Chain A
Amino acid sequence: MIQLTINGKLQQVDVAPDTPLLWVLRDTLQLTGTKYGCGQGLCGACTVHLDGVAMRSCSLPVSAAVGKKITTIEAVDAARVGKAVQAAWQKLDVVQCGYCQSGQIMSAVALLTHNRRPSDADIDNAMSGNLCRCATYVRIRAAIHEAAKALV
């Protein structure tokens, strides 16, 4: 049994320690908001927070998440920044297919948590690990600026 703290709740999971956190979230705990896209940390669809830091859960063994606070898209609205980012995303209708957007939002929240006034270059740095095949990038950038304004 492995003990994890996910979205503020203690969870016991019976999985092999080398199982990527992604599959524990999705298959074991039915937290399916976090998506599989590449399995190699190349696309960012699986982004979650470990102690507030954006991580690719597809290439993170669950054993490495023990003792850390794991936050997923399902609970990102518990903090003010998460709420603001989701509101900005909705206001600007950022999403298209939506599959990558949980990961986009998790990366954006991590950015805004540590940097309330990100420049375009900051956004490029923080968000370039998150692919969007619908290429909603124009609106992702605008929504991050929008959320930053709301957080002032």
Chain B
Amino acid sequence: MNEINIENASRRRFLQGSAGLTLAFALPGIAAAATAGPGKAGDGLVAAVTFEPNAFLRIGVDNSVTVISKHLEMGQGTYTGLATMLAEELDADWAQVRVEGAPADAKRYNNLFWGPAQGTGGSTAMANSWEQMRKAGAAGRAMLVAAAARRWQVPAGEITVNQGVVQHPASQRAATFGELAEAAAQESVPSELKLKNPEDFRLIGKQARRKDSRDKTTGKAKFTQDVQLPGMLVAVVAHPPRFGGKVASVDASRALALAGVVEVVQIPQGVAVLARDTWTAKKGRDALQITWDDSAAFKLGSDEILARYREMAQKPGLTAKKHGDATQAIAGAAKVISASYDFPYLAHAAMEPMNCVVHLTDSGCEVWNGEQLHTGDQYALAGLFGIKPEQVNIHMLYAGGSFGRRACKDSDYVLEAAHIVKAMRSKAPVKLVWLREDDMRAGYYRPLFHHTLQAGLDAQGNIVGWQHRLVGQSIVTGSPFEKMLVKDGIDHVSVEGAANLPYAIANLNVELHTPTDINVPVLWWRSVGSSHTAFSTEAFLDEVAAAAGKDPYELRLSLLKEHPKHAAVLRLAAEKSGWGQALKAGKAGERRGRGIALHESFNSVVAQVAEVTVSKNGAVRVDRVVCAVDCGTAINPDNIRAQVEGGVGFALSAVFYGEITLKDGVVEQGNFDGYPTLRIHEMPKVEVHILPSTAAPTGIGEPGVPPVAPAVANAIAAATGKRLHRLPIRSADLLA
């Protein structure tokens, strides 16, 4: 054992109060692990030394401060944000801080918002760690101070800590963290910790640079795709063309005849070809001759699904939210406005297609993955291999994007890799590689949705009733998340953003139909339910405003008297965008417009104003998006801006292009030619304005996405008078 773990009564008390904080100070022998750095848990270095991942903080005698991140870094800035919070209270020098991914161990690293489960999602990384990480830093600081006080024989109260240096100014003594690490390990963990007042923050709210920039600009950052292990085989899989399809028969002789192909195995998900390298595995996969059994496969097309949903929307659904009597209010209204909206299946299309490395060993199972749902994947693999969940050791690597896809409720690709390992003769480690087409056709899409809305206006143009009906598959039903998120038949994530509409409307009714016979796998896609509810509610509200003869911004503001936070965000976006002032005219034949939208998701509120130009042939260009954000304390303002900038671009992909379609059950898209995403020349100018706040931090990875599409749609309507009722945009809908 090279590492002293602090185990005493005060620590246990502290644990109870802070849900899982542990501390360890590293001695010389552990220096290798301390310098392993972020995302490098997969290169064998860490496994080779005594890696004791029972801590959020490790201080090395080399003066390194290693923050252990329990959350996945998939681009959203968690490694930097979590380290910022801890380093703030530790008073570390930002330059000495490095970040390392935590192992799978829900006892210590659970998401505090998810009960006993470890994982990353729902824009919770900062919010659930806010106290935990600061306390971890404060405890470390207190122990360093205690050690210095003992060494120098001075009162602890006279000691200061600033940017990684512990000082006793009166006697002009100073020591680095590294010089005190060994002694600090002997101190007891304080039972009570005082956290800083926001006015004393030196890192939080400032511009701490990203900790992963260097490795990600030099090619050194390690993703699952980059894992190489001795003897490792690469698996490429032939999947059935339809969801629910099975292998009827397979002739693998041609694949096996290829030099470098080692083995072909049949698994429930299809047929896997194992080879020494990726290209050979792909060639082997392409050489398989498979007859598929589609007798139990899903065979409907998107058009048929949508037609079915439209029919369902004719009838009342289950009540998701109701106050007053919307039906009666609308029946008695002076004016009734109705609209329906269609949203397609969407693929996540992360730049790194799904992949996973699994190695079955004598002691259990080793997994290398851009791991987003540690606990769920541990249980899934343990179940398959007949081992205990804690025997599934997961190395969390950087994820090349996810947008929800790596948080698969059914552990789909992780289990696929494990099935291959189970079916193989050899015990070699296996890297499952999905090619782009495998990734795009594998399902787990943002569900296709159909919404109908109706609003009633009185003679003065006030909204007296609001009726919203949604039809779409449930994401969480049948998953481990069902208990937490489905109540009385309503999947919370199907109606989020619609059932909690912030506007003061006396009579409101939100209903949901959840079809259960559409066997297309669906999943959370960055902003989940809000990816469609923000559009239908905010685009419809603009239609209502137009019918009432009111300014869309003024109407919203008038309905937000009980929601000052929303109102403040909306006001800031309007003010910064120059709402109400004339837009500069476009070139001849171009029509320009400005649109506004507001949406709360993951406890953060975002308002956006989009400026668009529509050409004569219906082509749309988004010129500028002004964003106002209230996400509580801004831990890292630059990262908040980055997340909102990226959220705008991500949402615009869905506005312009995003659409997975099925024909006779077969997914029609396979790569970025059929499923284009936004490119640099289509990216608008983005301005992000953050409301000052000392409240606890809320989400930021997702909340920048939802208002984009309705703001753009409302801008298009302002420019052309044409209302969008389906996404993505078809320029045919916008011809002059």
Interface pair B351/A45, CB less than 8 Å apart:
yes
Q: CB-nearest residue of chain A relative to B651?
A: A135
Contact partner of A133 (CB less than 8 A), chosen from B212, B279, B351, B638, is B351
Q: Range of interface residues on chain A?
A: 35 or more
Contact partner of B223 (CB less than 8 A), chosen from A72, A89, A99, A128, is A99
Given known A-B contacts A38-B671, A133-B677, A89 and B650 have beta carbons under 8 A apart: no
Which residues of chain B come closer than 8 Å to A102, judged between CB atoms? 219
Which residues of chain A come closer than 8 Å to B399, judged between CB atoms? 97
- Sample 27 A-B pairs with CB under 8 A, ordered by A number: A31-B219, A32-B219, A32-B225, A35-B225, A35-B351, A36-B278, A37-B352, A37-B436, A42-B672, A43-B672, A89-B217, A93-B642, A95-B216, A96-B646, A97-B75, A97-B398, A97-B399, A97-B401, A99-B351, A101-B216, A102-B219, A124-B680, A131-B672, A133-B403, A135-B648, A135-B650, A137-B649
Contact partner of B352 (CB less than 8 A), chosen from A93, A99, A129, is A99
Given known A-B contacts A43-B351, A45-B351, A95 and B213 have beta carbons under 8 A apart: yes
Whether B400 is near chain A, meaning CB under 8 Å from some CB there, is yes
Of residues 321 through 360 on chain B, the ones whose CB sits less than 8 Å from some CB of chain A are 349-353
Within the complex, what minimum Cβ distance (angstroms) separates A136 from chain B? 6
Chain B contributes a number of interface residues (CB within 8 A of A) equal to: 61
Provide the A60-92 mask, 1 if CB < 8 A to any CB of B, else 0: 000000000000111001000000001001100
Within the complex, what minimum Cβ distance (angstroms) separates B547 from chain A? 34
Interface pair B648/A96, CB less than 8 Å apart:
no
Provide the A9-37 mask, 1 if CB < 8 A to any CB of B, else 0: 00000010001100100111011111111
Interchain CA distance A139-B683 in the complex, whole Å: 11
Interface pair B677/A131, CB less than 8 Å apart:
yes
Interchain CA distance A128-B679 in the complex, whole Å: 6
Interface pair A86/B642, CB less than 8 Å apart:
no
Given known A-B contacts A38-B672, A105-B217, A23 and B74 have beta carbons under 8 A apart: no
B interface residues (Cβ-Cβ under 8 A, vs A): 74-77, 209-210, 212-223, 225-226, 228, 234, 277-279, 349-353, 398-403, 433, 435-436, 638-639, 642, 645-650, 652-653, 671-673, 677-681, 683, 685-686
Which residues of chain A come closer than 8 Å to B401, judged between CB atoms? 97, 99, 133-134
Q: CB-nearest residue of chain A relative to B674?
A: A42
Interface pair B638/A93, CB less than 8 Å apart:
yes
Interchain CA distance A43-B647 in the complex, whole Å: 19
Which residues of chain B come closer than 8 Å to A37, judged between CB atoms? 351-353, 436
Interface pair A124/B681, CB less than 8 Å apart:
yes
Contact partner of A137 (CB less than 8 A), chosen from B214, B398, B680, is B680
Best-buried of A15, A39, A89, A95 by chain B (most CB within 10 Å): A95
Of residues 34 through 64 on chain A, the ones whose CB sits less than 8 Å from some CB of chain B are 34-40, 42-43, 45
Interchain CA distance A105-B222 in the complex, whole Å: 17
Interface pair A20/B279, CB less than 8 Å apart:
yes
Given known A-B contacts A96-B642, A99-B401, A40 and B349 have beta carbons under 8 A apart: no
Within the complex, what minimum Cβ distance (angstroms) separates A36 from chain B? 6
Given known A-B contacts A38-B672, A131-B677, A90 and B219 have beta carbons under 8 A apart: no
Interface pair A100/B351, CB less than 8 Å apart:
yes
Contact partner of B75 (CB less than 8 A), chosen from A35, A96, A123, A124, is A96
Interface pair A33/B75, CB less than 8 Å apart:
no
Q: CB-nearest residue of chain B relative to A98?
A: B216
Whether A132 is near chain B, meaning CB under 8 Å from some CB there, is yes
Q: CB-nearest residue of chain A relative to B223?
A: A99
Best-buried of B399, B403, B672 by chain A (most CB within 10 Å): B672
Given known A-B contacts A38-B671, A138-B686, A93 and B218 have beta carbons under 8 A apart: no
Q: CB-nearest residue of chain A relative to B401?
A: A97
Q: CB-nearest residue of chain B relative to A62?
A: B279
Which residues of chain B come closer than 8 Å to A27, judged between CB atoms? 234, 277-279
Within the complex, what minimum Cβ distance (angstroms) separates A103 from chain B? 9
Interface pair B218/A39, CB less than 8 Å apart:
no
Whether A127 is near chain B, meaning CB under 8 Å from some CB there, is yes
Whether A4 is near chain B, meaning CB under 8 Å from some CB there, is no
Which residues of chain A come closer than 8 Å to B76, judged between CB atoms? 96
Whether A6 is near chain B, meaning CB under 8 Å from some CB there, is no
Whether A141 is near chain B, meaning CB under 8 Å from some CB there, is yes
Interchain CA distance A47-B228 in the complex, whole Å: 21
Q: CB-nearest residue of chain B relative to A85?
A: B217
Which residues of chain B come closer than 8 Å to A43, judged between CB atoms? 351, 672
| Interface contacts beyond A20-B279, A96-B642: sample of 14 additional A-B pairs, CB < 8 Å, sorted by A | A27-B279, A35-B352, A93-B638, A95-B216, A95-B217, A98-B212, A98-B216, A99-B401, A105-B217, A127-B680, A128-B681, A133-B401, A135-B649, A136-B642
Interchain CA distance A139-B349 in the complex, whole Å: 21
Q: CB-nearest residue of chain A relative to B279?
A: A23
Contact partner of B400 (CB less than 8 A), chosen from A34, A97, A141, is A97
Which residues of chain A come closer than 8 Å to B647, judged between CB atoms? 135
Which residues of chain A come closer than 8 Å to B649, judged between CB atoms? 132, 134-138
Within the complex, what minimum Cβ distance (angstroms) separates A94 from chain B? 8
Which residues of chain A come closer than 8 Å to B673, judged between CB atoms? 40, 42
| 6 smallest beta-carbon distances between A and B, as pairs | A33-B219, A135-B649, A99-B400, A98-B216, A97-B75, A96-B75
Which residues of chain B come closer than 8 Å to A72, judged between CB atoms? 219
Which residues of chain B come closer than 8 Å to A20, judged between CB atoms? 279
Within the complex, what minimum Cβ distance (angstroms) separates B180 from chain A? 31
Which residues of chain B come closer than 8 Å to A128, judged between CB atoms? 679-681
Given known A-B contacts A34-B219, A38-B436, A98-B212, A133 and B350 have beta carbons under 8 A apart: yes
Interface pair B400/A35, CB less than 8 Å apart:
yes
Interchain CA distance A76-B642 in the complex, whole Å: 26
Interchain CA distance A19-B212 in the complex, whole Å: 32
Interface pair A132/B351, CB less than 8 Å apart:
yes
Interface pair B277/A98, CB less than 8 Å apart:
no
Given known A-B contacts A23-B277, A135-B650, A93 and B210 have beta carbons under 8 A apart: yes
Which residues of chain B come closer than 8 Å to A90, judged between CB atoms? 209, 213-214, 217
Interface pair A134/B646, CB less than 8 Å apart:
yes
Q: CB-nearest residue of chain A relative to B402?
A: A97
Contact partner of A23 (CB less than 8 A), chosen from B278, B402, B642, B672, is B278
Interface pair B400/A98, CB less than 8 Å apart:
yes
Which residues of chain A come closer than 8 Å to B353, judged between CB atoms? 36-37
Whether A148 is near chain B, meaning CB under 8 Å from some CB there, is no
Q: CB-nearest residue of chain B relative to A96?
A: B75
Interchain CA distance A126-B341 in the complex, whole Å: 37
Q: CB-nearest residue of chain A relative to B643?
A: A96
Interchain CA distance A36-B225 in the complex, whole Å: 8
Whether A140 is near chain B, meaning CB under 8 Å from some CB there, is yes
Q: CB-nearest residue of chain A relative to B259?
A: A16
Of residues 113 through 133 on chain A, the ones whose CB sits less than 8 Å from some CB of chain B are 123-124, 127-133
Best-buried of A15, A34, A136 by chain B (most CB within 10 Å): A136
Interface pair A77/B671, CB less than 8 Å apart:
no
Interface pair B351/A97, CB less than 8 Å apart:
yes
Which residues of chain A come closer than 8 Å to B648, judged between CB atoms? 135
Which residues of chain B come closer than 8 Å to A141, judged between CB atoms? 680, 683
Interchain CA distance A86-B680 in the complex, whole Å: 19
Interchain CA distance A90-B80 in the complex, whole Å: 14
Which residues of chain A come closer than 8 Å to B677, judged between CB atoms? 131, 133
Which residues of chain B come closer than 8 Å to A42, judged between CB atoms? 671-673
Within the complex, what minimum Cβ distance (angstroms) separates B681 from chain A? 4
